[in-house]
Copies of this chain bind each other. A is one copy, B any other.
């Protein structure tokens, strides 16, 4: 029997995502107990985490299982990711062997690895998470790879449904924000996929030069169409905000300057004012558009204090929903009947 992974929301299809969201809602209402007894999740973090680590560790525990954390390059061995390489450099263990071995100890693996290279043409292949999935014969969960953060996307979808009710045809603005660093595009791509799969009318508001990967935009457009929604792009943040039901604020770097920090910083510099303020929030539908962000958020850089601490912000509930959707994913992937 072939195993199933959770690498991207769209891999599970509309029905699969709907089933996860329904299960997550039942879990959140306290209707589901147990199911992960004697199950072990091995989490491999190449990069920092607060929500992901805490919510997965809690999720496993609440259902009777256990999550353990490995940090390659810190408490665990540095991982080699190139294939066929003569490993006489600094990397100690190949991802092939790590994946195979961990699959013998654990019932599922979960991997976080942000992009590291300087060539988007290479990085966009998302090889590391795909290699883990290929070499592990147990399910692999994506905790944010170069291209996707499906646990975040699923939490976003649940949050949209909870606060907006019927989501189809409602306006979802994905709003680029300035940030001191060129952040990855996995979260904005996954948030847009979530909005698209919920059938919303999506506006990607970003400065010229800050488009998402064309393949991601094609996926988002296809998913929106299938769910009865639309996709458009705007370089005018203020007009994009008009009538928005939901505003998802997120900083990301220009893919055209991927891996070149100084060039990326220069491209961002003129757009320092791309930030969600109380003024901009007033333009949303009846001034009541909800505000989402994956967190961590740079206060007064991406979103002002007054917005984050005000009534429109749903970011804390959105973070809480990480827990519930992940419990659903874990129960689907490795739950006992």
Mark A276-316 against chain B: 1 for CB-CB distance below 8 A, else 0: 00000000000000000001111111000100110000011
Are A88 and B50 in contact, CB atoms less than 8 angstroms apart?
A: no
Cβ of A208 within 8 Å of any chain B Cβ, yes or no, is no
- CB-CB under 8 A from A68, the residues of chain B are 53-54, 57-58
A contacts with B: majority SS: mixed
Q: Which of B58, B77, B320 contacts A296 (CB 8 A)?
A: B77
Separation of A88 and B84 alpha carbons in the complex (Å): 41
Interface residues in A64-119 by Cβ distance below 8 A to B read 66, 68-72, 74-77, 80, 84-89, 92-94, 96-98, 100-102, 104-106
User: Given A48-B75, A75-B69, is A297 in contact with B105 using a C-beta cutoff of 8 Å?
Assistant: no
The answer to whether A93 touches B180, judged by C-beta atoms less than 8 angstroms apart, is: no
Q: A323 — nearest CB in chain B belongs to which residue?
A: B105
A183 to chain B, nearest CB (A): 10
Q: Are A50 and B101 in contact (CB under 8 A)?
A: yes
Docked-complex contact A40 and B69, CB < 8 angstroms: no
Q: Once the chains bind, are A97 and B297 in contact (CB under 8 Å)?
A: yes
Judge whether B319 and A104 touch: CB under 8 Å. Answer: yes
Q: Is the CB of B61 within 8 A of A66?
A: yes
Q: Are A77 and B97 in contact (CB under 8 A)?
A: no
Whether A87 pairs with B300 at a CB distance below 8 angstroms is: yes
Task: Name which of A75, A76, A101 has the most chain B CB atoms within 10 A of its CB.
Answer: A101
Residues of B within 8 A of A38 (CB): 61-62
Contact yes or no, B105 A54, CB < 8 A: yes
Interface presence of A127 (CB below 8 A): no
- Select one of B57, B85, B309, B323 contacting A66, CB under 8 A: B57
Taken together as a complex, chains A and B put the C-alpha atoms of A48 and B74 apart, in Å, by 7
The answer for the CA separation of A32 and B157 in the assembled complex, in Å, is 43
Contact, CB under 8 Å: B101 / A51: yes
Question: Counting CB contacts under 8 A, is A185 at the interface?
Answer: no
- Alpha-carbon distance between A41 and B86 when the two chains are bound, in angstroms: 38
Q: Shortest 6 CB-CB distances between A and B: which pairs?
A: A93-B296, A104-B320, A87-B298, A61-B66, A86-B300, A101-B319
CB<8 Å pairs between A and B, sample of 14: A40-B61, A48-B77, A48-B92, A49-B75, A50-B102, A51-B105, A58-B66, A58-B105, A71-B75, A74-B75, A93-B297, A96-B309, A101-B319, A105-B320
A92-B298, A97-B295 known; 16 new pairs, CB 8 Å cut-off, are A45-B75, A48-B92, A49-B75, A50-B101, A53-B75, A54-B106, A57-B66, A58-B106, A85-B299, A85-B300, A86-B299, A87-B301, A88-B180, A101-B319, A101-B320, A104-B316
